[in-house]
Structure 1
């Protein structure tokens, strides 16, 4: 069914929702170009916002762009559009990651639109969670959400969970003493930002969360080699619940699919009353990322490690103005 093309205000609102996606250190490495004549969005990677030390292959950058792509699809479906999506539409342009064409209204069989309320509610929570197990029904629903986007979600348990936590601990120890990792942190942390209105990107001090005094939850210390006065300390959960997102292969398209799966899982988790944060430290080291894979089959490429649970929601973090990430053309 044909319908009138969206006005520029609606296009801006769609990108505003897309840009609420998470990205490594909140770098927001995406750019959108909208073509009025074809009702098409092009999603480009902003390679200047990469992490040369922590993400030299730009895998995490692509995951963040994949999350923004999922948000765009969710917002479009919520507005009654059918977002026809094609990944990597031009092999000659490595920055062009996806093309989304808005077509007439269609049945939202995949349930994308229902996730829309969670876009503004989802924030990374770097606070302690309760020692309350996530119900099996919710775990299965989160796994199904990842599968829809072409990825696999699993919950490490028993000895595998212990091994994953050891890998996180090893990675965090390396990051603390690695000059390159500290350079990335120094670039993207905002210790002088008292509110979301005083920065456009990065992780502000108020979103660091407390220092970990005890517990086994895999928390990144955003202070790095610096020491920031006034931060509280807290005991975190002893039985953290982690979710591993993996794909069958490890190419650019797999990263984009994993990013969409990650965001779909996070949005559904938010609607289910769960809080979340990221534990990407071992994925940033190639020799530590490999042992994260499925211990039974020995296959799969780990793309993201999530911490899920019941606890306080995290604060909102800064976002670049839509005018900085959206270019509207005839």
Structure 2
């Protein structure tokens, strides 16, 4: 049966919501293709936007694309669609990460619709949070959000939090000694203001946040040792709320699921009045990533370190226009 044509404004809106997702260094490593005849929206990895020194196995790229996929699912539900999703549908084309059949006959997933307003509000906040406890019920809701997507969210105990903070500091030191990694960070996070026409990718200088007065802060310093005259200093929370998001296995399909789980957690947190930032810095070094896991937990592979709390919303990072990354056939 031939699919009924889908309005192109709807398709563009779905992609615009998808690309609001976070990605490593805001590289936005995705592109989309819509096949009119099948109402099939395909998500591809944009390998030209990979980070070979920081993310050599593409794990971070898959996480970002998974987050974009979840935003697309939320926007589809809000538009009254019940799409059918297939991850990694063609083993012969590993850059094809997902196919989304927008003709899906299932009803819209109503659990996703309340998250839709949070897509445009969610920003990474690298600003200080208040030393304020997060209610247990809210933490449980975030854990449930990860579980629904096939991942696990764990709030580690005090000793483990301190260990994670030390691993972040260790990763900072390793990055400082690796010119390849430093150069990649400098490529995507520039310390000078953007040109008048703007820069539609990367981390803008306004989103770096202040310099922490102490070194054990779970926030990546995108300045990477470069001088920034006039950059403010600030005291961050003494007892940050850290969560680890992870999976039982560690294959590309697991990374895509983890990315969807991460974005579901972040949108739920935004909906519930929390702000967040994420860092994969201690997970970019194999020996540190192994040390980040909780030996008493069933979580075998940590995929992301999430910092949550109450405080100011972060500065929005730019996004490429939909016309640049959506092909229509």
Q: Do the structures match in fold with TM over 0.5?
A: yes
Q: Which runs of 5+ in 2 are unaligned?
A: none
Deviation at 1:93, TM superposition (A): 0.1
Q: Under a length normalisation based on structure 2, what TM-score does the superposition of the two structures give?
A: 0.96
What's the CA shift for 1:192?
2.8
In 1, Cα distance between equivalents of 2:104 and 2:147 = 26
State whether residues 248 and 298 of structure 2, in contact with CA within 8 Å, keep that contact through their aligned partners in structure 1: no
What is the rounded CA distance, in whole Å, between the counterparts of 1:82 and 1:52 in structure 2?
A: 36
**Alignment partner, residue 42 of structure 2:** 42
Show structure 1 runs of 5+ residues with no match.
none
The aligned length equals: 328
Q: Following TM superposition, by how much is the alpha carbon of 1:195 offset from its aligned partner in structure 2, in angstroms?
A: 8.6
Aligned to 2:308: 308
Query: Deviation at 1:213?
Result: 1.1
Query: Which 10-residue stretch deviates more, 95-104 or 54-63?
Result: 95-104
Residue 296 of structure 1 aligns with which residue? Answer: 296
Deviates more, 1:193-202 or 1:77-86: 193-202
What TM-score do you get using the length of structure 1 for normalisation?
Answer: 0.95
The CA deviation at 1:301 is 0.4
Question: Partner residue of 2:252?
Answer: 252
The answer to whether the 8 A contact 1:217-1:239 is kept is: no
Q: 1:183 corresponds to which residue?
A: 183
Once residues 127 and 12 of structure 2 are traced to their aligned partners in structure 1, the CA distance between those partners, rounded to angstroms, is 33
The CA RMSD measured in Å over matched residues stands at 1.8
Counterpart residue number, 2:72 = 72
Q: Structure 1 runs of 4+ off > 6 angstroms?
A: none
C-alpha separation between the residues in 2 aligned to 1:23 and 1:35? Answer: 25
- Change beyond 3 A, Cα 1:196–1:56: farther
Distance 1:8 1:107 in 2: 21
Which residue is 2:280 aligned to? 280
1:143-162 per-residue CA deviation (whole Å, 9 max, x = no partner) reads 11001111000011121111
**2:6 — aligned with what?**
6
How far apart in 2 are the matches of 1:18 and 1:197?
Answer: 23
- Establish whether residue 209 from structure 1 lines up as the match of residue 206 from structure 2: no
SS at match of 1:242: strand
- Cα distance in 2 for partners of 1:178, 1:258 equals 28
Q: 1:17: which partner in 2?
A: 17
Which residue of the partner structure matches residue 51 of structure 1?
Answer: 51
